[in-house]
Structure 1
Amino acid sequence: MRIIQNDFDKKIAEELLPLRNYALSLTHDLDDTKDLVQDTILKAYRYKSKFQEGTNLRGWLYTILKNSFINNYRRDMKRNTFLDSTVNSYFIDLPSHKIDNDAETKFIRKDLKDAIDQLSLDLRLTFKLNTEGYKYHEIAEEMQIPIGTVKTRIFVARRILRERLKEYAEVYGLQIA
């Protein structure tokens, strides 16, 4: 059963805000976000016939967006001139205890964001994909690099972040491996 045009248009429109938010989390630049979302929507319409009714439209669109972002990243790497505006929001596993002070939480998040922003683009992108739940082999495929390089980048990124954020471990009594 083929999806009719109006339904497809409506479903795409419903996904614009989540797509924009996801793109912004990757680019951290409004102009790049608009370009990335526009490119994603154009590709969605171009390859609409490949979308199967009953499958996850949001997942399909996110995959298109992520692949477009990675392809743009690769293209920029080949040119060796790129803007350093990759993802600025990451999550690191913290112990189950909650930090009660909202102001303190803001400082911690800012320090975490700053520490991640200081990573090289290669480390940041690999680290982000890993924190989003992608497996090593999936990251290697997407970035077209050996799996060993993925493991090394994640290891190095974690080591750098651990060093940059060690004061929080001391303050909150966390174990640093």
Structure 2
Amino acid sequence: MTTKSISKHNKSFAIAQKEQYKQKREAEKREIQDLYTKFLDKKTIQDFIGIIANYKQLHNYSIRNILLLLAQSEKREHKEFVGVVNSFTNWKKQNIQILKGSKAYKVRVPIFTKNIDEDSIKPATEKKEKEEEQKKTLSYFKLGNVFDISLTSEYSNYIKEQEQIDKIIM
């Protein structure tokens, strides 16, 4: 019996490898969901109010992702967790390096698909471009990796800046 292989971007995977990867990703999703549920069960309304007040600088992240990050930092007993997170690529664009051996936090990343009107395949005008943007719909969520600033080379500078800000405010 021969196994078919599926190629993507010059890589070839056996069907068994693809299935194994899929099962691994599903298990990872279930683990993150279980962690999130356990975290929520332990918290009260006052805890949530405090969390929202303390982590309002995470304006690009949903409440669910903020709570997911906190649940993961609590599980890891990561005392230095600040809540200033970014993807590996975005830290790299800012010329900030991730410390060797750092483990990424998982967040849910929305994936949108564009609904294309097959009747009009003409070059889009500005008005049509705006309409097309509005036709994007949420398809699913995937797990993405982010790193806290405490896992980067800039953590000491961040702490110094925060201390200076605190001195000015107080």
Q: TM-score range by the shorter chain?
A: under 0.3
TM-score normalised by length of structure 2: 0.26
Greater per-residue helix proportion: 1
Larger relative contact order (CA 8 Å, sep ≥ 6): 2
Greater per-residue strand proportion: 2
TM-score normalised by length of structure 1: 0.26
